[in-house]
Amino acid sequence: MSPSALLPALSVLLLCCSPPALAFVSEPALSRAACRDDQFVVLDASDGLVNLSVNGVLVQDSVLACQKLRFYFRSGCLRCGEVSDAWRVAVKQYCGEGSESSHATSHQNVPRKLLRQSTDNSSRKDYDPCGGLSLHENNQDTSDSSENDDHLLAFPGVILLCCGLMFPCFHAERKEASRNDAASIQRNTIESVSSYEVSMSSEKVPPTPHRIPPSPSRFAPSPQVARVGSVNLSIQQILRATQNFSPSFKLGEGGFGMVYRAVLPNGTVVAVKRAKKDQFAGPRDEFSNEVDLLAKIDHRNLVRLLGFTDKGNERIIITEYVPNGTLREHLDGQHGRVLDFNQRLEIAIDVAHALTYLHLYAEKTIIHRDVKSSNILLTDSYRAKVSDFGFARSGPSDTEKTHISTKVKGTAGYLDPEYLRTYQLTPKSDVFSFGILLVEILSARRPVELKRTPEERITIRWTFKKFNEGNIREILDPLLEDHVDDEVLEKLLSLAFQCAAPTRDDRPTMKEVGEQLWEIRKEYGKSIRKV
C-alpha cells in the first residue's frame, strides 16, 4: 500500500482515537495570537465562557489549557499590557480558583472528575502582573493528575500503532530523513541547553538570610508594575490625587523636582514628580524622547516609570511608589531601626546591579549621574531601588567614549573629579559616585560632614587615612552591632577606593563591581557561619 493511500485512513483513525482533552474547532474566534510553532485562538462559547484552540484543535482539558496560557505569558508571546479582554477571561476561566468546576460544567460531555478543592487557597489562586489570576502551577491531587495522564498516554499509543502499520512504506524515506534531521536536532539541543542555563543562572543560589541570588540583570523585569502608559491622568486628576500638591503629600525633592504621594481612583498608590522650572529649558520633543527612553528601563532594582503628562506649564512624571523611605533616612535612624551589615551589603549589591543594567543592558547606555543615598529607595523587605532619573542622560553606545555636557549636574561629594574638570561624562562617573556611596553605607557618614573637624569633613579622605593606619574598625557605623570579619571589611573598603579612583581608567566597570561584591557577599556568609 502506498503512503498516499494510508493518509485518509490515518486521519480517520486519529479523529476517532483522539483523547477527550482535544476536539476540533467550530466556535467563532474572539482573538488570535501566535507563539513559536503554535497558532492559538480564543473562541466564543455560551454563558460568557470561552474556549482555547491551539493549531486548530480545541483544548477541553482546563489543566492543559492553563499550562498553555502560562507558557505563552512566560515566553512573552502574550504581554499583560497588550492582551484583549478575551485573553483575560481565558486566564480567569482556566487558571482561576474554581476554574475546574466552571469549565467542567461547560463541557459535560468530557468524562473527567472535578478537581477537589485545595485546603490551601494560596496554592490555587494568586495575582499576576495583569491584575488577573495566577499562571502558576496548580497543586492537584495525585488521583486527578493520574487520570489526566491516562488520557495523555493513550494518544501516543495510537500514534505508535499507526506508525507500525505504515513502517514498511516509509522505511526507505526515513533513513534519508533521519540523516537530515540529526544536525537539526543537535542544533536545537544546544540552543535548549543554552536557554536553560540562562534561565537557571539567576536561580542557582537560593536566597537565605546570608545569601542573595545573583543579578537578574535584563532577564528580571520589575515585578507587579504596569508598563508606561498604563497610568493616564489629566492635570485635574493629578491635582485631586495629591490634594492640589499638598505639603502633607510631599515625599521629598529630587533632581527632576518635587515628589508627591498620590492615590489613584482605583486605590493604587503612586509617586508623582512635578518638574522644576529649569526642566523646561529643552523642547517638548526632547522631554518626550527622554521619557520614552526611560519607559524601556525594566529592572527590579530600578523605579519604574508608569506615565507622564506634559501640558501647559506642567511636566509631571508618574512612577511606582516605594514605601520604605530612602537609604539616607535609614542611615540617619529616622525609621527607628538600624540597618544590619547583611542588609547594607545587599543594598550595595542591588545598586550595583541597577547601574550595570543602565550601563550595559538598556536600549542605550544610560548614565545616571546623580547616584547618592537619597536616590536609593527601600522596599518593605529592604531591597534597593535606584530612583530619580531627572539627571539621567543617554550616553554613547561605546561605554569608553564620553558624553560632553556644558553644565555640571550632580550632588557635591559624589561628583566625579574628571567630570568636574573636563565636563566629559562616562559610565565611570557613576562608578565614582558608587564608591562614595559604598563608604557611606559602611560608615553612615555623609560624603561631606561640615560639622566635623577639618580632618574628618571629607569622608572618603578620612576613611582612606584610617584604612592606611589599620584602624578599619573606626570606619564602621558605631551603631552596627554585627560582627564583621576584618578581611571582609578590608575587601569592601578596597573596592570602594578602586571605584573612587581620581582617574576613570583606574576604576572598574559596574559589572566588575557587582561581581566583586557578590564574591565578598559569599565570603561574609562563610565568616558568620564560623562564629
CATH number at residue 247: 3.30.200.20
How many domains would you assign to the chain? 3
Which residues are annotated as part of the binding site for ATP? 277
The answer to whether residues 366 and 347 belong to one domain is yes
pLDDT at residue 162 in the model: 57
Residues 46 and 122 in one domain: yes
Assigned C-alpha cell, 12: 480517520
Same domain membership, residue 376 and residue 271: no
Mark whether 376 and 493 lie in a shared domain.
yes
The answer to whether position 193 is within a domain reads no
Same structural domain, 275 and 423: no
Residue 260 per-residue DSSP state: E
The whole-number pLDDT of residue 340 equals: 96
Q: What is the pLDDT of residue 120?
A: 40
Pick the closest to residue 325 from 262, 420, 252, 249 (CA basis): 252
Domain boundary (117, 149, 181) is at: 149
Bridge partners for 260 per DSSP = 250, 272
349 and 247 share a domain?
Answer: no
d(CA 456, CA 113): 75
Determine contact, residues 389/409, Cβ cutoff 8 Å: no
Tell whether 363 and 280 lie within a shared domain.
Answer: no
Residue 507 amino acid letter: R
Distance CA 391, CA 255 (A): 6
Q: Are residues 313 and 343 in the same domain?
A: no
Has residue 431 been placed in a domain?
A: yes
User: What does the pLDDT read at residue 395?
Assistant: 52
Residue 398 belongs to domain spanning:
327-530
pLDDT in tens, the chain (531 residues): 554 555 445 444 444 444 444 444 455 666 677 676 677 677 666 656 777 777 777 777 777 778 777 777 777 677 665 667 777 777 777 777 544 444 444 444 433 333 333 334 333 344 344 554 444 444 444 344 444 444 444 555 556 665 555 555 544 444 444 444 444 433 333 333 333 333 333 333 333 333 334 444 433 444 444 444 456 778 888 888 888 888 888 888 876 778 999 988 888 899 998 887 665 555 666 677 777 777 888 899 999 988 888 877 788 888 899 999 999 999 999 998 999 999 999 999 999 999 999 999 988 899 998 999 999 999 999 999 999 764 455 554 444 444 555 467 789 999 999 999 999 999 999 999 999 999 999 999 999 999 999 999 999 999 999 999 999 999 999 999 888 999 999 999 999 999 999 999 999 999 999 999 999 999 999 988 876
Note whether 40 and 114 are same-domain residues. Answer: yes
Nearest to 523, CA basis, from 487, 499, 496: 487
- Per the domain annotation, does 289 fall within a domain? yes
- Which one of 61, 350, 370, 430 is the catalytic residue? 370
Q: How far apart are CA 445 and CA 438, in angstroms?
A: 11
What is the pLDDT, as a whole number, of residue 442?
Answer: 98
Handedness of CA 521, 526, 529, 531 (dihedral sign): negative
The answer to the question of residue 199 being in a domain is no
The verdict on residue 158 lying in a domain is: no
What is the CATH classification number for the domain harbouring 350?
A: 1.10.510.10
Question: Are residue 347 and residue 369 in the same domain, yes or no?
Answer: yes
Which residue, of 122, 149, 176, is where some domain finishes? 149
| Positions at the binding site | 277
Does residue 267 sit in the same domain as residue 363? no
Residue 461 C-alpha cell reads as: 579622605
Q: Give residue 230's identity as a one-letter amino acid code.
A: S
- Is residue 293 one of the residues assigned to a domain? yes
- SS3 readout for 294-347: HHCCCCCCECCEEEEEEECCEEEEEEECCCCCEHHHHHCCCCCCCCCHHHHHHH
Query: Do 341 and 306 share a structural domain?
Result: no
Residue 38 is a catalytic residue: no
Domain boundary among 320, 341, 372: 320
